[in-house]
Each structure stands twice: as structure tokens, then as C-alpha cells.
Amino acid sequence: MAIILLMPLLLSILAPQFAAWFVIPFVMLQSIFEEAFGFLYVHSFFMKILFGGETVGSLGQFWRELIVMLMIYLAVGAFLGWLYGKNEELKMRKRMKHI
């Protein structure tokens, strides 16, 4: 269970460009369905996909959900940071060509 919970974090640290291909579609799907069906229903559904079983209940389950959501957003942030770095690198190359 701990390995499954740590995989998004490890992916976001070791290979953010690959992690984002898994995480961004998941987050986008979640936000689209949240708009259509309401936040709590969809949040519960996606947590059932991640963890299996019932999501309403214990405090331990809440903390696990919170950790996974933070890891997902960390992976998205790592990917956006990687994109920003690539953009800056391309700008620098263009400047060097003009010199």
C-alpha cells in the first residue's frame, strides 16, 4: 500500500515529464466530472478508484486521500515547472543565435 501511495511522488521527483502524462488526464477528468455531477460525489468516486472500497468513514482514510491528492498536485506542479524550464531554455537558445 505504501508503495502505491509513493509512486506519484517518486514519479514526480524522478521523471516529472512522464508523471504528468498519467496525472494530468486524471485531474482533468476529475474536474470535468466535478462540474457535471458535483464535487463530493465525484471526489468520492475518484477516491474509490484510487483506493477501492468505501471512502466515507475513518480519519485515516481522510489522511490517505489528502496525501494522494497532494502528490497528484505535486506531480502536476513538477510538470509545469519542467515546461517552464524548457520554455526558458528555448528563449535562451534564440538569444544566443542572435549574438
The average confidence (pLDDT) of the chain is: 69
Q: Is residue 75 part of a domain?
A: yes
Q: Is residue 38 part of a domain?
A: yes
Per-residue pLDDT band at 16 (split at 50, 70, 90): low
Q: Give me the domain span that covers residue 90.
A: 18-98
Q: Is residue 6 part of a domain?
A: no
- How many domains, the chain? 1
Q: Is residue 8 part of a domain?
A: no
The whole model's pTM is what? 0.39
Among candidate residues 89, 79, 86, the one with its CA nearest the CA of residue 13: 79
Q: Is residue 12 part of a domain?
A: no
Q: Is residue 22 part of a domain?
A: yes
Distance from the first to the final alpha carbon of the chain: 54
Q: Please check the confidence at residue 19 and state whether its pLDDT lies above 70.
A: no
Model pLDDT for residues 26-83, shown as the tens digit of each residue: 666 666 666 666 666 656 666 666 665 554 555 566 667 667 777 777 788 788 888 8
Confidence at residue 68, expressed as pLDDT on a 0 to 100 scale: 74
Q: Is residue 10 part of a domain?
A: no
